[in-house]
Amino acid sequence: MVRIRNSLLAVALYLFSYGVNAFDTLPKVIKLATTNWCPYACENLNSSQGMVYEYVQYIGEQLGTRIEIVFLPWSRAVKSVESGVYDGLLSAIKTEAPSLKFTTTPTMEYQVCFFNRMEDVSKYHGIDSLKSKRLGAIASYGYGEPIDSYIAETENTERVIKLTGSAGVSRLISLLNKNVSTYL
């Protein structure tokens, strides 16, 4: 589930939902890190910055707090929040950043999907169906179980390509077009 990590924002949402007049204690600016993950957070779209991006901006406006959001490669975004450079992650799941605090109420949900080349008609039927494929994934992303465990297993190192850096999705598509059979 996509979750807002920032504990200050969680407190603000709690206070806002119960009408408590304690907003003068909120920071004037909350700095969040995210990655380009459309439709949730979209770095290069003119029409929209993404659903979660706009939702958090709206809540900040209602609370009188400016929300500053910076786009980074996901691994760097997580590390930057863990080291205190930013106040929180725009969207994350617990497996991606287990050392951070999470709200108990999800703000959205997502579904992991596999994509493959048009001419590859194979379908996902559990982890065993991946054993004959090369799988592309973005490092530090959480895909849920059992995919996260499959990606982490050292015996799958030859079959799993983990990308770091920017433009992960477009780079995975490029790899797919160069015969990576399946990617997330």
Amino acid at 174: S
Q: What pLDDT score was predicted for residue 18? A: 41
- What does the DSSP assignment read for 25-83? GS-SEEEEEE--BTTTB-SS-SS-S-HHHHHHHHHHHHHT-EEEEEE--HHHHHHHHHT
The CATH architecture annotation of domain 7-96 reads 3-Layer(aba) Sandwich (3.40)
The whole-angstrom separation of Cα 130 and Cα 135 is: 7
- As a whole number of Å, the CA-based R_g of the chain is 18
Q: Which pair of tokens denotes residue 75?
A: 């691994």
Q: What pLDDT score was predicted for residue 180? A: 60
Q: What pLDDT score was predicted for residue 132? A: 83
Q: What is the DSSP letter of 148?
A: H
Give the residue extent of every domain in the chain: 7-96, 115-183
Are 23 and 12 spatial neighbours (Cβ–Cβ below 8 Å)?
Answer: yes
Strand 66-71 and strand 29-34: the pairing is parallel
Residuewise pLDDT in 10s, the chain (184 residues): 333 444 444 444 444 444 445 555 789 999 999 998 888 899 988 888 999 999 999 999 999 999 999 999 999 999 999 999 999 999 888 889 999 998 888 777 778 888 888 777 778 888 988 888 889 998 888 888 899 999 999 888 888 999 988 888 888 888 888 876 555 4
Q: Can you give the pTM of this predicted structure? A: 0.73
Residue-wise pLDDT for 26-66, tens only, equals 899 999 999 988 888 999 888 889 999 999 999 999 999 99
